[in-house]
Structure 1
Amino acid sequence: MRLTTVSTLALAAGCLASTAHAQFLIDPAGGTPLTPTFGSVNNVLYDDRPLGFTANYFGQPITTIDVSENGFMNLTNQSSGIDTSFPTGEQRICPMWDNLYVYPGQSVIERAVPGSYYSVTWQLGTYLWGHVVQQFQVVWFGAAQRLYGFDFLPDDIVFCYKSIGSPPWNATIGLEGPGGQFVPLPGTSNGRVSDANARLLLPNFTDTVKWVLFRPNGNGGYDASIVPCIADTDDGSGSGVRDGGVTIDDLLYFLQRFESGC
């Protein structure tokens, strides 16, 4: 029987896809609520939050971060809800920079394991549009570790999306470092995303177990990608650990699994 490329990829997905159905890369349960458990919150900054490790951000050692209710973290005590395209002149980590608003029952939750990772999970609405609920997370890794069959490295920054709100909204997504350096969401030139194109650009973690990975590139910046790719099946070790790249090792591992009946 002759297999087409499409059917081969479909078989790969069936053999190798994760069976997990988690809502976020890091479960926020048991974390620290940064927002109050009552009332509403707007344009609030939670400053000098300890990462629990020394991170390297665009070549700078970082031990604390400021968390904005407006869907970003930064190094300069900013909490503006007026989102603009990159570059902005401010160093930010933006999983969903928008004019957001914490309505009753919604939250911004911090969860960290010292020396391992720091995460913030936003589950909240947009200002004046309470029905537009965005649920997303940023994870900053302080040590190498394996989650969902993928090897994360120190200083990896990950954006994870549980659900994307209905119209109307727009936001800025990506990283900005010193001197106007920026790395936008893949598929955009300046990080700008709206309700019109978000579902094409942002992976839904609950459905696909994919995320946006910003990995240091060794030149003082980051490479951005959506991972894991369906063709990323192995890192060359033969153990089925994904590494965010696609090489001949991935094909060889798939053929090995196919030969053994998955």
Structure 2
Amino acid sequence: MTLRIHALLHVDFEDLGFIKQWANNHGHTISYTRFYSQASLPEQDTFDWLIVMGGPMNIHDEQEFPWLADEKQFIQQSIDNSKNVIGICLGAQLIAHCLGATVKPSGVKEIGWLPIELTEEGKSHPLLQKLPKQAFTVFHWHGDGFDCPKGATAIATSDAWANQGFIYQTPMHKELGSFVIGWQCHFEVTQESMVKMVEHGRDEIQNELNNYHESVQSPAEIIECGNQYIGDNNAWLAVMLDKISSI
């Protein structure tokens, strides 16, 4: 089955990364709303999956980014229409907000390759069976965090912030076999997309290194660790996407 995927992009240096490779490999189509250059949103009946990407803004920054209000409404409509909705970093925070959860500064910055661990519910969830049962390393870039939405399953945690991911389903999602998923981390980064993020975020990294030396890595360390971890992260993401698309 060919899927019609629509992606919401907030900045030009955070793109779909490996998700685009996966979609192309399976013959799926991708359309985009690029809020940094145009904010037109499609009709709900023109796509099957919604993917909400990351960005440096806060979900409450509607005065500076007026399109956030329309985006939240669009995400809510997509959830109400029982679509597969996948959020990454800011995208996960926006979804959590739409589901009524609190999104706020976590009190710590996580930037770099750092460990998370699946919760017991995450370890047993059908979508996550191929992910490691022990702590594993993923790419982070966030200072805000979300509470687990009411009715959702908390699937991952870290030492810095308890809620690193969730899966949510309405009764209609369950009937259709679709999911709403939020991850704080970036399974999707490729070497190219990670370097692009680092280049655009060097000033932030330098500013935060002294404040959060245990959870913020230098640009050189991030890029070096990427060589070690990107392959596994992309493989785990592929398994999740394959499982979702097969249900």
TM-score (norm 2): 0.27
Q: Which has the higher strand share?
A: 1
TM-score (norm 1): 0.26
Query: Looking at CA atoms only, which structure, 1 or 2, has the larger radius of gyration?
Result: 1
